[in-house]
Amino acid sequence: MEIKVGLIGEVKEKVCDGNTAKEVGSGSLEVFATPAMIALMEKASCVALEGYIDEGTTTVGTKVDIEHVAATPLGMTVTVRSTVTEVDGRRICFAVEAFDEAGLIGKGNHERFVVFSEKFMAKTNSKGK
């Protein structure tokens, strides 16, 4: 199958002790952490591509341009939607948005590249040898 503009991935995660700014070290408050939101955005982008990536390949995140516009407290659920906006060879661009029950909490753009898994890992594992 071919990766096309308009593919959408969506994921949800409840805000808990393990994904707060205080826990992940990105701040001192018990609110949904920006790094956790970005990780969820990457996950939603991967979900959008499920079934569209050839065997032996995967995608790796290469760029994020994200605004975290509102805090989310413990107990709320964050929903992230990622939409493919551009496909240029192996480069795939996404528009990402994050919401909690009260509304928009984050938005921006994300970029991933299709790589050959074995070749990528061999190159990575050869570092420092």
Q: 13, 20, 34, 111: which is the annotated catalytic residue?
A: 34
Q: Write a three-state SS string for the chain.
A: CCCCCCCEEEEEEECCHHHEHHHHCCCCCCEECHHHHHHHHHHHHHHHHCCCCCCCEEEEEEEEEEEECCCCECCCEEEEEEEEEEEECCEEEEEEEEEECCEEEEEEEEEEEEEEHHHHHHHHHCCCC
68 assigned to active site: yes
Catalytic residue check, 42: yes
Which of 13, 20, 42, 59 is catalytic? The answer is: 42
Catalytic pick among 20, 59, 68, 72: 68
34 among known catalytic residues? yes
Residues catalogued as catalytic: 34, 42, 68
